[in-house]
């Protein structure tokens, strides 16, 4: 399944640079954004899971949205 995923390093010590380079150089995966502990990538989930077999301490999670809590009732459909 193609999609946007987050790779988050939860291991001890610095993020393994060699693994990040492995992801960066993979032809089927694009790095969209990065931070000291995470990569936001676009690519096939199966490929990412295979890559993770070579490095431990990573979470692989689909990108998801958060929202602002709105206390007011919402109109499902504007009045005609």
Partner 1 sequence: MAQQRQRPSLPDDLRLSGGFNVIKGEDPGDFGDNGEHHGTHVAGIIAARGSAPKGRLGIAPGVSLRSYRVFGKKGGKSPGGTNFDVAKAIDRAVADGCDLINISLEMLTDAENPATPDSVIRDAIAAARSAGVLVIVAAGNQDRGPVSFPAADERSVAVSALGRKGTFPTGTSESGDVAGPFGKDKKNFIAAFSNIGRAIDLTGPGVGIISTVPGGYGVESGTSMACPAVTGFAARILGRLPDIRKQARNQERSDAIAQALFASVRDLGFKPEFEGHGLPS
Residue from the set 38, 44, 47, 52 that interacts with partner 1 by CB under 8 A: 38
Q: Are 56 and 33 in contact (CB under 8 A)?
A: no
Residue 13 touches partner 1, criterion: CB under 8 A: no
Shortest Å distance, C-beta 47 to partner 1: 19
Rounded distance, CA 36 to CA 15, Å? 7
71 interacts with partner 1 by CB under 8 A? yes
* 63 near partner 1, rule: CB under 8 A: yes
* Number of residues near partner 1 (by CB under 8 A): 22
């Amino acid at each position: 399944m193609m999609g946007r995923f987050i790779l988050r390093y939860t291991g001890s010590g610095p993020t393994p640079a060699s693994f990040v380079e492995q992801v960066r150089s993979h032809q089927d995966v694009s790095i969209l954004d990065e931070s000291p502990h995470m990569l936001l990538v676009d690519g096939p989930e199966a490929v990412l899971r295979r890559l993770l077999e070579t490095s431990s301490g990573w979470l692989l999670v689909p990108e998801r949205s958060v929202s602002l809590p709105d206390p007011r009732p919402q109109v499902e459909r504007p009045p005609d």
